[in-house]
Amino acid sequence: MKVWFVVYCKPQKDDVAEGSLLRQGFEVYRPLINRAITKSKRAGIITRSMKESLFPRYIFLNVDPEIKSLTSVKYSPGVTGFVKFGDRYSTISDSVINSIKACEYEHQNGGAKIHPFEKGDNVFINGKGFTDIKATFCEMHSENRVVVLLNMLGGMSTMTVPSSYVSKTSIY
Round to whole Å and give the CA distance between 167 and 137. Answer: 10
DSSP state of 143: T
Q: Which CATH class is domain 3-108?
A: alpha beta
Round to whole Å and give the CA distance between 57 and 135. Answer: 33
The pLDDT tens digits for 41-65 are: 666 676 777 788 889 999 999 999 9
Assess contact for 76 and 126: CB atoms under 8 A.
no
Split at pLDDT 50, 70, 90, the class of 139 is confident
Residue among 58, 65, 55, 70 at smallest CA distance from 24: 70
The pLDDT tens digits for 72-105 are: 999 999 999 999 999 999 999 888 888 888 777 7
Split at pLDDT 50, 70, 90, the class of 109 is low
Q: Could you tell me which residues come within 8 angstroms of residue 118 by beta carbon, excluding any fewer than 6 positions away? A: 137
Its pTM stands at: 0.59
φ, ψ of residue 161 in degrees (nearest 5): -135, 160
Exposure of 148 by Cβ count < 10 A (0-12 exposed, 13-18 middle, 19+ buried)? buried
Q: How far is CA 9 from the centre of its chain?
A: 15
Reply yes or no on whether the pLDDT at 121 is more than 80.
yes
The pLDDT tens digits for 12-49 are: 999 999 999 999 999 999 998 877 777 766 666 767 77
Assess contact for 7 and 61: CB atoms under 8 A.
yes
Q: So where are the chain's domains?
A: 3-108, 122-167
Q: Are strands 44-53 and 58-63 parallel, antiparallel or unpaired?
A: unpaired
